[in-house]
Amino acid sequence: MTATPVRSTYRHGDLRQALLDAGLDLARDGGPDAVVLREATRRVGVSPNAAYRHFADRGALLDAVSAVAQGLAADRIEIEWAKVPADTDEATIARGHLRAVGTGYIGFAREQPGLFRAAFSVPHDLRHAFSPDKAGAAGRTPFQLVALCLDELAAAGVVTPERRRNGEFLAWSTVHGLAMLVIDGPLRGLTPEMIDDAETRLLDMVDRGL
Amino acid sequence: MTATPVRSTYRHGDLRQALLDAGLDLARDGGPDAVVLREATRRVGVSPNAAYRHFADRGALLDAVSAVAQGLAADRIEIEWAKVPADTDEATIARGHLRAVGTGYIGFAREQPGLFRAAFSVPHDLRHAFSPDKAGAAGRTPFQLVALCLDELAAAGVVTPERRRNGEFLAWSTVHGLAMLVIDGPLRGLTPEMIDDAETRLLDMVDRGL
DNA sequence: CGCAGTTGTTCACAGTGTAAACATTTTTGT
DNA sequence: ACAAAAATGTTTACACTGTGAACAACTGCG
């Protein structure tokens, strides 16, 4: 059932990308732990150690998968971002964008829990949060999107400069927490309606209390 | 260098507990992934398969470790809880308790990241959130403590019954998110001062916006 | 005392990551 | 053009993991 179980050429052509794709498939159902080197090479139709020509070790492959997954999260957020009507006042737009980030983030977590965990449970430093390989199709990383709408809120005077400072951490923590508890923690098993409700109220709380 | 590499009796005496303790040690530095069956048996000085007389599989051991870790989290929260002055009005006490839960929860995460992840990253259902084996020395689970202070807030009239409903999820998500991002996510590497600041502002936000 | 149940051990196997040596193909320098 | 060098894939090998099955030693009960 595999597309091309054997290949004619000795060289693969684009093994790195193929392994990355396989890794993403593994992460999609199974999360970061499911990204196992040998299985990826198996799916690509190559010997296990071929992977080491393109990734230093399993961790490097997982890092690459994580970066792509963060880009996919960014894409999901951009979808919500684009829905925000632009024909209103600055403040309303900014608040809409903040809400869009939250909705998109949690939406991605709920729709793609495996990729979400691969994206945000693999330890990375904040210093790399802006690196282009973590960006979505629009060229912006999830963290950049959070920062951006906070800038908008500050520019519109919705939040004071004092409150805007490091506000990323607050906004991010809030939605990240709900996402994690729902897909991977004790809040799993809640009905979609209950999650929707929690999500709405959570975003209300951020909107009011940031 | 091991305390008792061999034992005189064929029977161990309390192998289950010994394995659990070893599992906790492993989780303490290394988190849930570090809880490996063979290493636990090795530390206890017993053959690998002896573990199967007391735990169905590795997952069962991890579950047990997770439950104990949740109890330790509860203990940590109780410490903050007990600090709240009782000689004030009901509302102030209730709000203090909510804050104590947040402080204790994040404190536990920062002080014992491995145990924290073992406690709250191992999937469990909310239906078991009250089971006594997850309780601390005071007999209350972390989730019970959240629920309790929300009840207090409602009784004191700080939050309306409408807002109290399912408020656990909001409060929990918020602190859980910060904890996870700080110990395991992109917010690692923040200075303790920045984390302190984020924590304070996060709890302020919950206090204002719940 | 004998025997059944409990608990620990041994042997075995499949799966994982990864190092080292080897093979093949492509690139590059003269 | 052609040999040397670099890049890429394979094979072999090892240590480690979880876990099933058969076996061994101890315990308590009739």
**What's the rounded mean pLDDT across residues A111-132?**
91
Q: Look at residue B177 and tell me whether its pLDDT is greater than 50.
A: yes
- Strand ranges (E), A117-176: none
For chain A, the distance separating the N- and C-terminal CA atoms, rounded to the nearest angstrom, is: 52
Instruction: Return the pLDDT at A6.
Output: 60
User: Does a structural domain hold residue B40?
Assistant: no
* Domain enclosing residue A204, as ranges: 70-209
Instruction: Return the pLDDT at B165.
Output: 92
User: Does a structural domain hold residue A33?
Assistant: no
Instruction: Return the pLDDT at B6.
Output: 61
DSSP assignment letter at A134:
G
How many structural domains compose chain B? 1
Q: Look at residue B4 and tell me whether its pLDDT is greater than 70.
A: no
Q: Is the CB of B8 less than 7 A from some atom of nucleic acid strand C?
A: no
Backbone angles phi, psi at B167, to 5 degrees: -60, -25
Q: Look at residue B186 and tell me whether its pLDDT is greater than 90.
A: no
Asked if A125 and B186 come within 8 Å (Cβ–Cβ), the reply is yes
Instruction: Return the pLDDT at A2.
Output: 35
User: Does a structural domain hold residue B86?
Assistant: yes
Asked if A208 and B206 come within 8 Å (Cβ–Cβ), the reply is no
Instruction: Return the pLDDT at B93.
Output: 98
Residue nearest C26, CA–C1′ metric = A11
**What's the rounded mean pLDDT across residues B131-149?**
96
Structure tokens at B148: 């309790």
Most confident option among B6-10, B64-68, B130-134: B64-68
Task: Give A11-22 pLDDT, tens digit per residue.
Answer: 778 999 999 999
Q: How far apart are CA A127 and CA B190, in angstroms?
A: 10
Q: How far apart are CA A52 and CA A60, in angstroms?
A: 10
Angle between helix A58-83 and A113-120 (nearest 10): 110
Most confident option among A89-93, A187-191, B189-193: A89-93
Task: Kindly report which listed range (A158-162, B12-16, B90-94, B141-145) carries the lowest average pLDDT score.
Answer: B12-16
- By percentage, how much of chain A surpasses pLDDT 90? 84
Instruction: Return the pLDDT at B127.
Output: 83
Task: Kindly report the bases of strand C lying within 7 A of a protein C-beta atom.
Answer: 6-12, 15-21, 24-26
Residue from B99, B173, B197, B205 to probe the interface with A (highest A Cβ count within 10 Å): B173
In this complex, how many residue pairs, one in chain A and one in chain B, have their CB atoms less than 8 Å apart? 137
CB contacts, 8 Å: A192 with chain B: none
Instruction: Return the pLDDT at B206.
Output: 94
**What's the rounded mean pLDDT across residues B108-113?**
98
Structure tokens at A130: 């802006």
Comparing A56 with A209, the larger pLDDT belongs to A56
- CB distance A166 to A147 below 8 Å: no
Average pLDDT over all residues of chain B: 93
- CB distance B196 to B107 below 8 Å: no
Structure tokens at B133: 């084996």
CB atoms inside a 10 Å sphere around CB A97: 22
Asked if B206 and A209 come within 8 Å (Cβ–Cβ), the reply is yes
Q: What is the dihedral of CA B133, B135, B140, B141, to 10 degrees?
A: -100
CB contacts, 8 Å: B123 with chain A: 184-185, 188
Q: Is B198 helix (H, G, I), strand (E, B) or coil?
A: helix
Instruction: Return the pLDDT at A3.
Output: 38
**What's the rounded mean pLDDT across residues B59-81?**
98
**What's the rounded mean pLDDT across residues A136-140?**
96
Task: Give A158-203 pLDDT, tens digit per residue.
Answer: 999 999 999 999 999 999 999 999 998 878 889 999 999 999 999 9
Q: How far apart are CA A34 and CA A44, in angstroms?
A: 16
User: Does a structural domain hold residue A54?
Assistant: no
CB atoms inside a 10 Å sphere around CB B91: 14
- Nearest-CA neighbor of B199 among B187, B83, B149, B210? B187
Q: How far apart are CA B22 and CA B51, in angstroms?
A: 12
User: Does a structural domain hold residue A175?
Assistant: yes
Instruction: Return the pLDDT at B193.
Output: 94
Comparing B143 with B6, the larger pLDDT belongs to B143
CA of A41 to C1' of D4 (A): 31
Instruction: Return the pLDDT at A148.
Output: 97
User: Does a structural domain hold residue B99?
Assistant: yes
CA of B126 to C1' of C9 (A): 39
Q: Is the CB of A36 less than 7 A from some atom of nucleic acid strand D?
A: no
Chain A interface with B: residues with Cβ < 8 Å: 33, 120-121, 123-127, 129, 143, 163, 166, 169-170, 172-181, 184-190, 194, 197-198, 201-202, 204-206, 208-210
User: Does a structural domain hold residue A45?
Assistant: no
Q: Is A21 helix (H, G, I), strand (E, B) or coil?
A: helix
Query: Where does the pLDDT of residue B114 fall: very low under 50, low under 70, confident under 90, or very high at 90 and above?
Result: very high
User: Does a structural domain hold residue A14?
Assistant: no
- CB distance B172 to B146 below 8 Å: yes
Q: Is B160 helix (H, G, I), strand (E, B) or coil?
A: coil
- CB distance B58 to B36 below 8 Å: yes
CA of B41 to C1' of C10 (A): 15
Instruction: Return the pLDDT at B3.
Output: 39
CB atoms inside a 10 Å sphere around CB B131: 12
Q: How far apart are CA B66 and CA A84, in angstroms?
A: 42
CB atoms inside a 10 Å sphere around CB B99: 19
CB contacts, 8 Å: A127 with chain B: 189
**What's the rounded mean pLDDT across residues A123-151?**
93
Instruction: Return the pLDDT at B2.
Output: 36
CATH number, residue A163: 1.10.357.10
Instruction: Return the pLDDT at B159.
Output: 95
Comparing A128 with A140, the larger pLDDT belongs to A140
Task: Kindly report which listed range (B4-13, B25-34, B42-51, B170-179) carries the lowest average pLDDT score.
Answer: B4-13
Sign of CA dihedral A85, A88, A92, A97: positive
Q: Is the CB of B5 less than 7 A from some atom of nucleic acid strand C?
A: no
Angle between helix B90-111 and B192-209 (nearest 10): 150
